[in-house]
Structure 1
Amino acid sequence: MTDTDDLARELDRAHVFHSWSAQSQTSSLVIASGRGCRVWDHAGNEYLDFSSQLVNVNIGHQHPAVVSAIREQAELLTTIAPSTVNLARGEAAKRIIDHAPEGFRRVFFTNGGADANENAIRLARLATGRDKILSTYRSYHGNTGAAIVSTGDWRRVPNEFARGHVHFFGPYLYRSEFWATTPEQESERALHHLRRVIEAEGPTSIAAVLLETVPGTAGILVPPPGYLAGVRELCDRHGILLILDEVMAGFGRTGRWFAFDGYDVRPDLITFAKGVNSGYVPAGGVVIDEPIAERFDDRVFPGGLTYSGHPLAMASIVATLDAMSSEGVVEHARAIGETAIGPALADLAERYAVIGEVRGEGVFWAVELVADRDTREPLPAAAMGRIKAALVARGLLPFIQDNRIHVVPPCVVTEEEVAEAMAIYDEVLAAETTGGGEGRE
């Protein structure tokens, strides 16, 4: 420990109000610096970051090209009103559009993923003249008014102040709501369920279906064959827009630029944040299909943010996407998921009965832990707490959610770092299942 670490904790306890936390129970872990897939505290203790913080540091910590671009933009122009024209903003928008499907030509920039979804909902309602938004129970879309009510998990319940939101169950074969036994059956039955919800709610009242392409915080729920295409077909049948939330899944996380590139689906609106610039400067946005954008050529769009298209954020987007392209970061994420992460997690699942299921792609994986493989009873919170503490004590920063370990390193993670992390997971699971062992101090 150092005086600087102690000072950081003292100031944090005295003055910082943390999100999603009881304030007396917040973390004491200090992070002072980082590089690539590793971070350090002030005393020099090193941690391998297999959380990517909040699954957003796709290009890794302190990428020199991105840091340099932010520095250069700060010396040129630190901020400007969104009503002005700025080259960095246009360059950032063009690079995002270059990875979108044909027909997308406009980007509305926001400060993050929550207000990206907020404004996508606004666009859908204005474009259709309808009110209702359908989204799944197993989802997270952000913590602004409509985004949090679109969210399906527990965080929605204390915040239900927005109108016009309806939830349905999406596919999740391991814990199927539909008594399915195969991916194809899960897809078919989940689509039948959605069709009935649409019919019961009244198709002409529904503006959009909002889905995370691959639900992230909810469990990295890779959609089964035909599901997203089936949702698209239902939307088309009833004049409903499809919003795909790519905030967590986009820009390399699944080993593709957009996660939906791996499925037979084209959305009407795409929301993004996180990986677009690895969170170096807060940024997000909505990629808008041209028929929707054209509706506002002579009609005022009633939405905006003071920092929409902020120059520092735009410069970081340009540098991030250029570096990811030139360094083959997205292709690397796909390959390392196929050749290193996936096989290593499958090996752990074969050796530990506490692992009920492994699922994922790219650098986007979930290890679901169970007390009993036959009943699939989730591993209790106390055990998950022990596992999290043991991982951190051994120098690995995990992403723990409910009864799952989400294995979500930066897209630039190496085979050696994967092997290092897997050895730590192995050691901790062995200690937990035999009832012994503590991590390093």
Structure 2
Amino acid sequence: MLIFLVILSLLLLQGVSIFNMDYLFYSLGTMGDALPFIKLAASINEGGAKAAFIGNEKFDHLASSMGVKLFSVSSLAAYQNSYNNPLTWSRHHAQNHYNDFHFPAIKRTFKTIESIIRKGHKPIIIYQDALSGARMAAEEFGLKSCQVVLAPQGIGSILSPPYPMRRQVEERLWGEIFPQIRGKAKKDTFDRLVRPLINPARKELGLAQWSLSDLPDMETSPSILALFPAWLKPNPGDWPKQLVNTGFILGETQDSESNARLDEFINQYGAPLVFTFGTGIPVTNLLIDKIRNLCRIIGKPGIFVAHSKNESFFECGEFPVLILPSVPFSYLFARAALVIHHGGIGTCAQALATGIPQVISPYTFDQPDNAFLLWQLGISNAIDFLSDSVNQIASCVMEVLSSHSIKEKVKYYQNLTTDETESSVQFLLSLKE
């Protein structure tokens, strides 16, 4: 025993860890991006292996509450400055968003992984972005790695392009036009991001410069894990061969924890319309007035989950609106009549899992394609909540609520929507073999 303690002390003094870091998860985005990675890391830890999360310090409390160590490579201020800025959600602002938020994390992520390797670890790297410091480190240090894609929009396809691109080009021209678009997009990425930003950062890290042909992408990822079910969008035939579908990682799957204010409101006024527009939509008095008028027309109370607002109550006759800064969607959706949301894949999945009708107001990123896929399944419809009139939105909501076909299909897909954390973990564990 004494000999063991002496050896242990020597190892600790030399900075050598006797506990192996098996997995490092990297994601730098919103809650919808971070939560699946942290939940997967937590499940791996519960199984006896060791996993940690690399991301923004905003998620430190979430990670620690789930028993996951977070290595911060981006500040809370950077997160707030980026995602609380409505321009971030505009395609015209994408360059500034990358410059101000994503790019500064590249060297920090690479160096974080490098320091972990120097302590004797050889983790498998699980990353979201192919141009990240996480993938750079995996390639530089010869580590196994896996790219994670959360929604079908993130997978390039000529046979079945994502919406709205599929609508902007005639189907007979897809094979001709989309390869050209893909080539131009790759060159644009090289000219705007790689040449002026990433290559200088790689030089500082002692890495070789990337040429246009060197750029990593999903096609060259060693493994790909798609965190959505195959029935949401079947493989059209030209997805990467190494891609494996498991299914959704549901954010909150337990309904046991009650919310007294929410329960009191629903018990008094009935099943509400739920409104949640993600991180990027500014909450203004005009938006709240639109929600109140819509509730009055539909004849139902409203609950608006707005992360930037404190709890508040708006009188509106028989159909008031309660604003909450946060509430578990699994708990809220199970007690609601319908949810109107932005179309983030996490919110779509939680609505599917609770069997609630959806009306989607997509804005950018994967949201338009998610809205299209759910409409294609026959379980939702889409609006533009900011631009459409209250009467237009009300007409769409009433159509969804009254549709017998939608009610049947919502229940059908509810039965198919399961939390696939365990099957995703099993896939990741198989990478060690």
Structure number with higher relative contact order (C-alpha < 8 Å, ≥ 6 residues apart): 1
- TM-score (ref. length: structure 1): 0.32
Point out the structure with max Rg over C-alpha: 2
- TM-score (ref. length: structure 2): 0.33
Which protein has the bigger helix share? 2
